[in-house]
Structure 1
Amino acid sequence: MRLGAAGAASVLACGADLKSSFCLTRGGEAFVSQYIGDQDERKNQRFYAETLAKMKDFLGVKPGIVAHDLHPDHYSSAFARSLPGVKVPVQHHVAHVLSVAAEHGITEPFIGAALDGTGYGPDGAIWGCEFFVIQSNTWRRAAHLKYSALPGGDAAARETWRPALARLMAALGPGWRKEAGRLFNGIDGKTLRIVEQMILRGVNSPRTSSMGRLFDAVSFIAGLGGEATYEGQGPMELESLCARPARAGYRFDITKENGVYIIDPARAVLGALRERGPGRARAVSEKFHAGAASMVRNTVAALSAETGIKTALLSGGVFQNRTLLSLSLSALSAGGFKAFANTRVPANDGGIALGQAWYALKGFKQAE
């Protein structure tokens, strides 16, 4: 696909560590590699390097610009630093929304919504539900999901009761056991107490604004199990129950703090908790999906009221949930917005490289 002027410099965009792909540009055209796999496996690292060498030779390019993820410890970032050329680090979720801009050739100002699992933030937190104002080749983080603890880091993606505990403790306070303790009867008592203390003391519990982990939490609260046996199990099971989204969903509160909108899911989490019961998982799913789509629309509307921007771009792994994507696009369209999503590259990390390439070609910077 075409990304820029014919005389544009050649860029290598190294993509992400998970669901890895890369992107090469030549004369303003983008060439995205096939799916390569996760970069925590040596065989995938070798295949990545071999495929890149073959594609560079086939296209006859020697990239002078190398774009990569902002995370300093990712394999893809280290690989990028080992190469010649000007290095351009790109925030993970900015790359997500820019992949949509690249696909659709959008150069006008837009509001980008990235609903995702995890990505490194410049503040050291794990980002994952981000709204950006992007204009004049600059990006600004304008709204995000309220931070929550992620006890155990990566373990919280496998054991969905962990993010559920963190969100419930935040919503209910010190007396959380009185109203929510019964949810954790199947969890070893000692383990539960240890994780509770991890959250309270901030031990191995990084801050996160991840929408993926919020979906995990709600899937556990709905009664869909506390441990995933494959990636995204809880959220996918939750989506499968959403036959007819509710007309009135759970509420997300949006307030402005220090110039940034903070999206608090506490009422949505408590709504799911109080809805929970035999045969009620479907109702939880329908109301949560409706509430999440309304949150997307309401956040974009708040930013539009400040900026006058009427174009919205949606990306990130959570938008592989076709129910949520459809509801969000419909809500934005009904609100008078031009809304776009990925159609040619994946909304997940497989599309990151295209967004990185667009960032480098257009010379994007974080707004001061």
Structure 2
Amino acid sequence: MRSVLLRVYGIVQGVGFRPTVARHAQACQVTGYVCNKGPYVEIAIEGEEHQVDKMIDCVIHQPPKQAMIIRHEVFNASLHHYSDFQIVTSQKTKGEIYISPDLAICDDCVRELYDPHNRRYLHPFINCTNCGPRLTILEGLPYDRERTSMKAFPMCPECEKEYHDPQSRFYDAQPVSCHECGPEVYILGHEEIREREAIIYTRQALKEGKIVAIKGIGGFHLAVDAKNEKAVSRLRALKHRPRKPFAVMAKNLTTVKSFAHVSKAQEAVLTGVQKPICLLEKKGSSLAESVAPGNPKVGVMLPYAPLQHLLFRYDDGLKTPDVLIMTSANDSGAPIVHNDEEALAECASLCDVILSHNRVIRIRCDDSVMDFYHDAPYMIRRSRGYAPLPYYVSTSYEGAVLAIGGELKNTFCIGKNQLLYPSSYIGDLSDIRSVKSLQSTMKLMTSLLEVDPDLIVCDPHPQYNAKRVGESLGKEVVYVQHHYAHILSCMAENDVHDKVIGVAFDGTGYGDDGTIWGGEIFICDPLHYKRVSHIQPFLQLGGDASSLEGYRGAVSMLLDLYDDPQDLVMKLGLCDLSHYKVLRAMHARKLNAVTSTSAGRLFDAISAILGLCLRSTYEGEAATALQFAALQGKRQTLSIDVKAKQDLLPTKRLVAEITKRRFNGEDVHDLAYLFHDGLAQMIVSEVIRIAQNNHLQKVALSGGCFQNTLLLALVETRLKEAGFCVYIHHLLPPNDGGIACGQAYYGLACLKERRNDSCV
């Protein structure tokens, strides 16, 4: 006989791990127990030598598909002569903590949801050990029902029996419930309309083209028939969102394929346990034009909650839409609405019906958004299904840090020893509601992860609410330059510790010299950086207005190139004469103007010069219009001198060339592509020069401009051809949603350096 203790670390709570272990124990005929300890699952195993070995192999190599085992340990133990194998009460132990994200409804639950002979037939909250809410209902660890929102719903005798039955799929499933004992749906403002009647009421409203707010797993969505142009246009008008694309939810994969191209890799993500919004190429014209106007892609997801399935299919005889707009119920930049009070205050004026339920959402969680690069996932917004899965770095860091993140697309990150825990998406911190959400979510997550941070890490921008939040926590604060944090986030995701050349291209970041940075090349490691090159500076005219009015940047850049480009500005249609004279005066006197090296504003200016977008209605509109135009242009190389002088990428030369060709009547799409090609050539040429002078061969690409997969491909391909090892993002966004991870990486490196008394 042999007795061992097996400890398994990773995502092993809330994913059906203990029931699976118990079933393995029965199959292997061993005795003992399995117990959640917080940082790990502990398994005591007793049996014959071959039985114990088989049990260990089964646990490690046949876990639930939603589990993620990071490491395991085996210890010999004294014989206890257990009489059977049991799941025992969870015990709290200090150490690493892993929290499961919310999991999309599994195929077994979908089958039972529509089985008239099953007692959970059409139950809006069906779930099992393999699926359902996790992070969003969590109040404390270890993950047990009494520490979730489900503690408000005592199990009925039948659910309790299944919960304790090792042969049941609901064995030890914390959110398990049924019609008798689970949460209820209702029409907010008409609470007498509940359960079945509430779902039918909602489906009828959707059929009639009405707008419905629907409470999901992590917050409310606004839903409307995505094929009804009038209804979608009305939603746009109510939300004051003229052109920003809406995401849609389709009934099933067959429906998706009727209006979008889906590769095998995309299908795997679309139908997986996370079910993010996937950006897919449009096909046909069955969707309303105003779903994603002027955009060759559409954001698509499949139902991931049972209630969402019931919107598409029910037993009421109604034929409801098979594609719905499913957009977060919030103002632009604000956090997703997550309770009835907020829904009444913020959604009532935007919709006709509010379908809610009484399961409390403890942590808001927006939908994740996934693009694809070379047919592999390329994250745009990391939230539901992924947060707060940690990143593991192999350097032996010790201590804890709290990184506040950026002002836009805010997420925060908790760093604890060698683990980095990026949060779910918060929003833009210019909105006080997002600030409050950030503060409350940080408080809960630091409690769950048992973190009392040694350092707070912030962006140094003096006007950022992110900085103010960090400084208000009563802890020591260190500051990390915005674009350096971008590169660090790429390094952290790829577990890179060596010195790299970092290319950080984005819209706005506070520079060390007090100017606006955004087209930067660094040499850096996890603790130090040096700015070695950047695009040529220009004046951003009009302060914050310049970020949405690309023509301002265009006029400013033309004023840098020509003594008085009035005729050129007029012929390009950038603005009227009176406005031009104002901008010229601002430029000459540097009034309400700031020096900038923003690559994002460079994209906006070229978009305006090419007549694609003069004024943006949402962040990134002009740049995406430029990218989409380029994808329709001829693949050709721009023949201009791209070599930098005095550590400056000659971007003014690029602006002049594109402007001249535009003035001469060349095709706009071809010019859009030539701009991308020319900028990529400049980046690669400068990286090669820096590498030769510093004997470096590793390059990290980050920043919001690298959401542009055309630019990414042109840069990465040329760098690899030149022999560089190139690091890019995958499941951490290249935009500001990822910088908190880079900040946390710096904080941990700083703590390690301080132990050597040399951190400055």
> In the alignment, which residue of structure 2 is the partner of 1:176?
565
> In the alignment, which residue of structure 2 is the partner of 1:108?
498
> In the alignment, which residue of structure 2 is the partner of 1:324?
711
> In the alignment, which residue of structure 2 is the partner of 1:53?
443
Question: Counterpart of 1:116 in structure 2: which amino acid?
Answer: D
> In the alignment, which residue of structure 1 is the partner of 2:554?
164
> In the alignment, which residue of structure 2 is the partner of 1:267?
653
Is structure 2 residue 635 aligned with structure 1 residue 246? Answer: yes
Q: Counterparts of 1:1-368 in structure 2 under 5 Å?
A: 1-3=391-393, 5=395, 8-135=398-525, 137-172=527-562, 174-184=563-573, 187-243=575-631, 246-249=635-638, 251=640, 253-257=642-646, 261-276=647-662, 280-363=667-750
3-state SS, counterpart of residue 218 of structure 1: helix
Q: Percent same amino acid among aligned pairs?
A: 32
What is the CA–CA distance in structure 2 between the aligned matches of 1:297 and 1:264, rounded to whole Å? 13
CA contact (8 A) 2:417 2:748 kept: no
CA contact (8 A) 1:245 1:289 kept: no
What is the CA–CA distance in structure 1 between the aligned matches of 2:739 and 2:507, rounded to whole Å? 13
What is the CA–CA distance in structure 1 between the aligned matches of 2:641 and 2:627, rounded to whole Å? 19
Question: Counterpart of 1:147 in structure 2: which amino acid?
Answer: P
What is the CA–CA distance in structure 2 between the aligned matches of 1:339 and 1:196, rounded to whole Å? 42
CA contact (8 A) 2:704 2:734 kept: yes
> In the alignment, which residue of structure 1 is the partner of 2:324?
none
What is the CA–CA distance in structure 1 between the aligned matches of 2:397 and 2:497, rounded to whole Å? 18
CA distance change for structure 1 residues 60 and 143 in 2, over 3 Å: closer, same or farther?
same
3-state SS, counterpart of residue 276 of structure 1: helix
CA contact (8 A) 1:68 1:87 kept: yes
Higher alpha-carbon Rg: 2
Question: Counterpart of 1:225 in structure 2: which amino acid?
Answer: C
- Structure 1 window deviating more from structure 2 (265-274 vs 32-41): it is 265-274
- Structure 1 window deviating more from structure 2 (114-123 vs 131-140): it is 131-140
3-state SS, counterpart of residue 680 of structure 2: helix
CA distance change for structure 1 residues 252 and 51 in 2, over 3 Å: closer, same or farther?
farther
CA contact (8 A) 1:252 1:291 kept: no
TM-score (norm 2): 0.46
TM-score (norm 1): 0.93
What is the CA–CA distance in structure 2 between the aligned matches of 1:50 and 1:119, rounded to whole Å? 26
CA distance change for structure 1 residues 320 and 53 in 2, over 3 Å: closer, same or farther?
same
3-state SS, counterpart of residue 175 of structure 1: coil
What is the CA–CA distance in structure 1 between the aligned matches of 2:413 and 2:529, rounded to whole Å? 21
Q: Which has the higher contact order (CA 8 A, sep 6+)?
A: 1
Could you say which structure has the higher helix fraction? 1
CA distance change for structure 1 residues 15 and 135 in 2, over 3 Å: closer, same or farther?
closer
* Cα root mean square deviation, aligned: 2.0
CA distance change for structure 1 residues 137 and 26 in 2, over 3 Å: closer, same or farther?
closer
